Structure 1
Amino acid sequence: MARRALITGITGQDGSYLAEHLLGQGYQVWGLMRGQANPRKTRVSRLMSELSFVDGDLMDQASLVSAVDLVQPDEVYNLGAISFVPMSWQQAELVTEVNAMGVLRVLEAIRMVSGLSSSRHNGEAAKNIRFYQASSSEMFGKAAETPQRETTIFHPRSPYGVAKAYGHFITRNYRESFGMYAVGGILFNHESPRRGAEFVTRKISLGVAKIKLGLQDRLALGNLDALRDWGFAGDYVRAMHLMLQQDEPADYVVGTGEMHSVRDAARIAFDHVGLNWEDHVHIDPALVRPAEVEVLCADTTRVRQELRWAPQVDFASLMTMMVDADLKHVAAEQEYGGLLAAGSW
Structure 2
Amino acid sequence: MKKALICGISGQDGSYLAQFLLEKGYEVFGTSRDAQGGGFRGLGLLGIKEQVTLFSMDPEDFRSVLVAVRKSQAEEIYFLAGQSSVGFSFEQPAETIQSFTIGILNVLEAVKMEGREIRVYHAGSSEAFGDTQGLAATEDTAFRPRSPYALAKASSTWLVDNYREAYNLYACTGILFNHESPLRPERFVTQKIIQSAKRIAGGSEEKLYLGRLDIQRDWGWAPEYVEAMWLTLQQEKAEDFIIASGESHSLEYFVEQAFVQLDLDWREHVVQKQELFRPTDLAVSRANPGKAREKLGWKAKSGIKEIISGMVGETVLSGL
Q: TM-score, normalised by structure 1?
A: 0.89
Give yes or no for the alignment of 1:29 onto 2:28.
yes
Query: Is this contact kept in 1: 2:217–2:250, CA < 8 A?
Result: yes
Question: Whole-Å Cα distance in 2 between the matches of residues 36 and 195 of structure 1?
Answer: 20
Name the structure 2 match of 1:82.
Answer: 83
Aligned partner letter, 1:76: I
- Pairwise CA distance, 1:215: 2.6
Query: Is this contact kept in 2: 1:205–1:322, CA < 8 A?
Result: yes
Name the structure 2 match of 1:71.
Answer: 72
Question: Whole-Å Cα distance in 2 between the matches of residues 143 and 289 of structure 1?
Answer: 18
Give yes or no for the alignment of 1:214 onto 2:203.
yes
- Pairwise CA distance, 1:110: 1.3
Larger Rg: 1
SS in structure 1 opposite 2:256? helix
- Pairwise CA distance, 1:48: 1.9
SS in structure 1 opposite 2:100? helix
Q: Identity percentage over the alignment?
A: 39
Give yes or no for the alignment of 1:54 onto 2:43.
no
Aligned partner letter, 2:76: E
Query: Is this contact kept in 2: 1:144–1:153, CA < 8 A?
Result: no
Deviates more, 1:211-220 or 1:170-179: 211-220
Question: Whole-Å Cα distance in 1 between the matches of residues 168 and 118 of structure 2?
Answer: 11
Question: Whole-Å Cα distance in 2 between the matches of residues 301 and 107 of structure 1?
Answer: 28
Aligned partner letter, 1:44: L
Within 5 Å, which residues of 2 pair with 1:140-155?
140-143=129-132, 146-155=135-144
Aligned partner letter, 1:58: P
Name the structure 1 match of 2:92.
Answer: 91
Alpha-carbon RMSD across the aligned residues, in angstroms, is 1.3
Give yes or no for the alignment of 1:277 onto 2:266.
yes
SS in structure 2 opposite 1:86? helix
- Pairwise CA distance, 1:145: 6.0
Aligned pair partner of 1:194 in 168, 183, 186: 183
- Pairwise CA distance, 1:144: 5.5
Query: Is this contact kept in 2: 1:59–1:98, CA < 8 A?
Result: yes
Question: Whole-Å Cα distance in 2 between the matches of residues 224 and 179 of structure 1?
Answer: 44
Question: Whole-Å Cα distance in 2 between the matches of residues 252 and 111 of structure 1?
Answer: 23
Name the structure 1 match of 2:153.
Answer: 164
Name the structure 1 match of 2:113.
Answer: 112
Query: Is this contact kept in 2: 1:184–1:252, CA < 8 A?
Result: yes
- 1:173-220 Cα distance to aligned partner (Å, 9 max, x none): 110011100000000000111111011111110111010011343111
Question: Whole-Å Cα distance in 1 between the matches of residues 35 and 59 of structure 2?
Answer: 15
Aligned partner letter, 1:73: A
- Pairwise CA distance, 1:40: 2.8
Question: Whole-Å Cα distance in 2 between the matches of residues 280 and 27 of structure 1?
Answer: 46
Give yes or no for the alignment of 1:323 onto 2:293.
no
Question: Whole-Å Cα distance in 1 between the matches of residues 310 and 49 of structure 2?
Answer: 25
Within 5 Å, which residues of 2 pair with 1:329-340?
none
SS in structure 1 opposite 2:86? coil
Question: Whole-Å Cα distance in 1 between the matches of residues 154 and 26 of structure 2?
Answer: 30
How many pairs were matched up? 314
- 1:234-268 Cα distance to aligned partner (Å, 9 max, x none): 11000000000000000000101101011000100
Aligned partner letter, 1:69: R
Aligned partner letter, 2:127: E
Question: Whole-Å Cα distance in 2 between the matches of residues 231 and 63 of structure 1?
Answer: 33
Question: Whole-Å Cα distance in 1 between the matches of residues 166 and 257 of structure 2?
Answer: 47
Aligned pair partner of 1:135 in 124, 131, 149: 124
Question: Whole-Å Cα distance in 1 between the matches of residues 102 and 179 of structure 2?
Answer: 24
- Pairwise CA distance, 1:86: 0.8
SS in structure 1 opposite 2:312? helix
Question: Whole-Å Cα distance in 2 between the matches of residues 17 and 36 of structure 1?
Answer: 18
- 1:1-22 Cα distance to aligned partner (Å, 9 max, x none): x000000110100000000000
Q: 1:144 to 1:273 in 2, by over 3 A?
A: closer
- 1:306-336 Cα distance to aligned partner (Å, 9 max, x none): 101011111111011111229x9xxxxxxxx
Within 5 Å, which residues of 2 pair with 1:228-267?
228-267=217-256
- Pairwise CA distance, 1:36: 2.5
Query: Is this contact kept in 1: 2:36–2:56, CA < 8 A?
Result: no
Give yes or no for the alignment of 1:309 onto 2:298.
yes
Query: Is this contact kept in 1: 2:134–2:284, CA < 8 A?
Result: no
Aligned partner letter, 1:52: T
